[in-house]
């Protein structure tokens, strides 16, 4: 899956709004639930080294809210990392193109959407 495919999937599956809130970072896309305007996904590119990888090339990631109990096991999988620039107890970062289990990525997006809808 690539960035555009992920955005298209999210727009088809969820009632949401896309936002580019930072003028300095026009390619950063915040995806919010329409009912409460809370973020459930943030898509952006960063250098792999910022995630602890041995590459300095940019990769596209998505930050997703996650059940805290699942995070320790998820970050052991290739392509899932502790959240970049977010609360690592509640968020994960997923390498969009590098994570091979597309169905699981969709499940993680769904979990994020559901979690930010809770009151």
Q: What is the pLDDT along the chain (119 residues), one digit of tens a residue?
A: 999 999 999 999 999 999 988 889 889 999 999 999 999 999 999 999 999 889 889 999 999 999 999 999 999 999 999 999 899 999 999 999 999 999 999 999 999 999 999 66
pLDDT confidence of residue 20 = 87
pLDDT confidence of residue 118 = 67
Tokens of 100: 């091979």
pLDDT confidence of residue 39 = 95
Angle between helices 3-13 and 102-115 (to 10 degrees): 50
Burial of 107 (0-12, 13-18, 19+ CB in 10 A): exposed
Neighbours of 77 (CB within 10 A): 14
**Cβ distance 81 to 8 under 8 Å?**
no
């Amino acid at each position: 899956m690539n960035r555009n495919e992920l955005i298209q999937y999210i727009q088809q599956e969820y009632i949401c709004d896309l936002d580019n809130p930072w003028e300095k970072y026009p390619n950063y896309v915040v995806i919010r639930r329409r009912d409460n305007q809370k973020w459930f996904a943030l898509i952006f590119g960063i250098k792999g080294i910022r995630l602890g990888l041995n590459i300095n090339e940019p990769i596209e990631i998505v930050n997703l809210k996650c059940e805290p109990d699942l995070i320790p096991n998820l970050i052991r999988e290739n392509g899932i990392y502790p959240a970049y620039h977010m609360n690592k107890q509640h968020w994960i970062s997923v390498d969009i193109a590098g994570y091979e289990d597309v169905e699981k990525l969709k499940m993680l997006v769904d979990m994020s959407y559901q979690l930010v809808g809770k009151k």
